[in-house]
Structure 1
Amino acid sequence: MIRIAIALALLAAPALADPVGIDAERMAITVETPDGPIEIMRGQDNDAVITGDFAKTSRACPPFCIQPMTPAEGVTTIGELELLDMLEDPEAVVIDSRTREWFEGGTIPGAIHMPWERITDQLGELGCEPDFEGWDCSEAPEVALFCNGPWCGQSPTAIRAMIGAGYPAEKINYYRGGMQVWRLLGLTVAEGR
């Protein structure tokens, strides 16, 4: 009976055959958040699969149309490793530009929430100063925006609005993979608050 219980427990355990690192040198990074430090790493279950909304491959377009690689001239599109570097940089700001409901369903640790439809109203929080023609963001930090993935138009729309309001395009990065690719890679997801 004990052998059967052990065999069943082994079958139910996650497949931990090979360690899953972020890259060849790092298993994890730690980012500071208002709730304290959070370790970002990839899930260690070698048999894990993506489920739920982020596993969907086809949605009506519009609004779920494939987004361009670069949402505006001068903006840099980045991947996960560059985003992780920004999360470790105390001078950089990572922005979750999704709606409140999506943000509360889980976000990238260390990201702040600035919804796409109101982002230009919040540029003061990034160090921009109001001026007669919009905002003076010459002293604002480098930022990275993300939303739900390559089919999500929330962060591209927010980026174009920020540029239109005066945020320098060369200080904006676009994490096109968004939460769909973040989850696909098994990276840590934090509760959005």
Structure 2
Amino acid sequence: MARPREFDIDAAIDDAMDVFWIHGFEGTSLPDLLSGMGLTRGSLYKAFKDKKSLFMLVLERYEKKLVEDAVVLLTDSKIVNGWDRVTMLFDIILRAVKINDRRGCLLCSAAAGPASYDPEIAKVVKRGLEKMRAAFEVALDASLSHVTSSVDARRGLANVLKTQYVGLRILARSQMPVVALEQSVASVQYLVNETDLRSKRV
């Protein structure tokens, strides 16, 4: 049953987020949104104007809820070793895939899709991914602060981790075999081990 004309905007955006998360921006049709949000065509257009405007709101909601969860983990000072925070994040991603959650990351999917041709979407995606990069850098600072490495070096390593994160999340949507994703996560652990080993030589 469709929602009445007066409805909870926040709940509707959450419902739209689920639809876009599953189908992606390009793959989401108007009927998908109407069905997933429980709205009539008129109510949707009146409240959200068009598909892109709704998607922009969804990306902002995703950033505040899901990206922030990852940032909180990566910057959690209660987990003293920053590398532990990093490996925990990648393990969480892998566990989701193993229980057949193949949605990946909505922000990462947008980066590979509409952000490539839409400047407004690209701006939101860039902001969210910059939050991830900065959070990776905080985690690295917790592990590498005792090492005589430059800020630029740590920033570069944070970018490597961000790239690995985005790639893994996109591959999760591609139905790539779990073993291939496990190997990707294992490569992060290899990076951890190598960095730790080099730090001990300093």
TM-score (norm: length of structure 2): 0.24
| Structure with larger RCO (C-alpha < 8 A, sep 6+) | 1
TM-score (norm: length of structure 1): 0.25
